[in-house]
Structure 1
Amino acid sequence: MVMAQQRAGQQRAGHPKTGHPKTEHPKNTGSRQRLTARDWADAALAAIAEGGLAAVAVEPLAARLGTTKGSFYWHFAGRDALIEAALERWAEVATEAVIAETEAEPDPERRLRALLLRTTDAAVSDPLGMSLLATAADPRVAAALARVTERRIGYIAALFAELGFSQAEARRRGLLAYSAHLGHAQLGRAVPQALPTGADRTRYLESLIDALLHRG
């Protein structure tokens, strides 16, 4: 789930549909107290979404944030530290915040349906996940993707287990669900005309979830 991310929790932490962090553009105050490490991490994620890992550069990010390089060096020892912070922020906003919000629903099947519907549909309009997948050759990104992927598949598998599937079967279905999520996101970015739209898209996603829940 290049699993988002939406609503109340993410409106506080990120984009209301994808979980992509908001990047503010404050006026240039020159005040390091006005910006936090999180502000820089969010700006770095926005840059990655737009231009990949190579787009993370201190001077352009300072201009984006309306500040100077001094603010950056107040928070980070260098670019690598910022990239690590940005990847941690991505995991927090696009995975942990989504899971926390999903947990508010007590019924496991409703929880699973809501999670898969929302995140799979939203992934199509979220360039950040695809951008990170495209830069998976970078060891830092590869490590973050491995952690996030395991967390997401593990959580989905736990929902299937709550519904009575064995641990092995729950894991298999969790992997199938996440594979479908990634495939849907990739098609939506590369060949959008291959996917249904509007009400047909919702029916398509519902049928996918029905298939995943089917007990043969």
Structure 2
Amino acid sequence: MRPDRAAAVLLTILALAILSAGCAGTGESRTVQLAERPTWTAGDSWTYRGRGPNGVYTITRKVLREGVFDGRDAYEIQAGDARYWYTKGLGYLARTSGERTVRLAMPPEDWQWPLQVGKSWSATVTWVDTGEQERRFVLTSVWAVEAYEEIKTAAGTFKAFKVSRREIESGASQEFWYSPAVKGWVKQRAIGTADGAYEEELTTYAVQ
């Protein structure tokens, strides 16, 4: 083999060795991670331990049924004593009390699937609060999929997508860690929201 060709082969082998060592050292896959939109089924449930302005609490969110709300295919969810409707894209649609709608989002604030690190989107929503006097307010939120990381919770350790949401007008912010394995959030926290600052962590779950 000619000296110049031998040198080229040696350099190629050396470069491959360096790349292999780098991959082994980080333990990261070069495969792009994606999270497709989940499908919820009646009976799916997630229980969280949380801490908020009123102290420590436990809350279970359970899928009651699939149905149609305000002309949209949706899930009815029970969360503690409250009931909500979420779109098939997991966007907040409404909160209800009996047959009465207490809060409505127009249009619903859907997540944009599939999730992938680096993805971002925005949404402008008119929120309608009903009561003795109806109130309407418009908020624009900016969403971003910031990371794909390992999260340890009381329910186990999960690979999750960290998704942030920030309201332009109020400055309120939320962070969600969505895990495809549980079809939902394994952790979330918020600052400056109407409910104040809070943090929740998954303790048990049951999904089909």
Which is helix-richer, 1 or 2? 1
Rg comparison, structure with higher value: 2
Which is strand-richer, 1 or 2? 2
Scaled to the shorter chain, the TM-score interval is under 0.3
| TM-score, scaled relative to structure 2 | 0.23
Higher relative contact order (CA closer than 8 Å, sequence separation 6+): 1
| TM-score, scaled relative to structure 1 | 0.23
